Amino acid sequence: MLIQWCLKGIAETSAFGDLEAQKALQDAGLTSAWLRNPTGRDILTLPADSQSSLSQSALNAHVNSFSTIAATTPYMSVSAGCVELDPGKTTTTVYHALETALSFATKSGACSGYVFRLWVLVSPKPAPELPGFAEEVRELNLFRQYAIFHDEGEIAAKLFVPARQIESVEKYDCELNLLWTHLNSNFIPPERISNLLEFL
């Protein structure tokens, strides 16, 4: 397993403001639309329901047809940045995760929003049906299907990201001024589970 730092940009709306942003660090974590819109499901059927919702086709729809499943997708996009090749100019272009996250958080400078810094586990092989770890959609060696917005450097988390994996949240206004930063006092750093072992 790999551990990947990521950023998640969320625009400020009537449904998601300062309170919700800080609560994400306290205990709520960040949740997918599927979890936020249960429509008849309850916690007892969550394991069975999530099993049927996670699939390769659901991931494909999330990546390439998001507008059709925005309200029900069990996946949640976070960004880790990306490098694109330009064969025409024989150069590479780096797409920074922060620029992508800020673009989403502020709707390209139209509103204020939040950027969360978090880590997720990433499987070295695709397994969109299994919960518990994220899918590295940006990795073309693993996900060979064409992704329209590959340059967004997407990592697709599943169902939710626990609060303890979220290090901080920053709020930016539409001019990209950093308004405030909140750190998660209960944050668990990824070093806790890395394969670097201390001697006895």
Partner 1 sequence: MAWLPSIEERERGVWRKRANARIRFLERFGERAPQLPRFHPERAPGLVEMPQLPAANALTKAAELAFVTDQTTRGRELLDRAVGHLLAERPGNWPITRTALLGTLVHRVSTELNSEGIHLMADDLRQDTSWYYASTLILDRTAGALIAAAVASGPPERTLSLLTQPLQAAEDELGIHSPERLAYLIAAKAMEADTLPLFGWRRRPDGPPGETADDTRRHADQAVAAFLMLTQRYAARVRLLTSDHAHWGQLYPRVPMLDWTLLSLHVALLRREMTIPIRKLFSSIQPVGPAGALGTFIADIASALDRT
| Residue ranges that bind partner 1, judged by CB under 8 A | 84, 86, 88-91, 93-94, 96-99, 102-103, 106, 108-110, 148-149, 151, 170, 175-178
Quote the least distance from Cβ 16 to partner 1, whole Å.
20
- The answer to whether the beta carbons of residues 177 and 113 sit under 8 Å apart is no
Residue 63: Cβ within 10 Å count: 23
**Is the Cβ of residue 39 or residue 92 nearer to partner 1 in the bound state?**
92
**C-alpha torsion sign, points 61, 63, 66, 71:** positive
- The answer to whether the beta carbons of residues 132 and 76 sit under 8 Å apart is no
CA 22 – CA 182 distance, rounded (Å): 7
Quote the least distance from Cβ 91 to partner 1, whole Å.
7
Quote the least distance from Cβ 79 to partner 1, whole Å.
12
**Is the Cβ of residue 14 or residue 177 nearer to partner 1 in the bound state?**
177
**Is the Cβ of residue 118 or residue 159 nearer to partner 1 in the bound state?**
118
Quote the least distance from Cβ 80 to partner 1, whole Å.
12
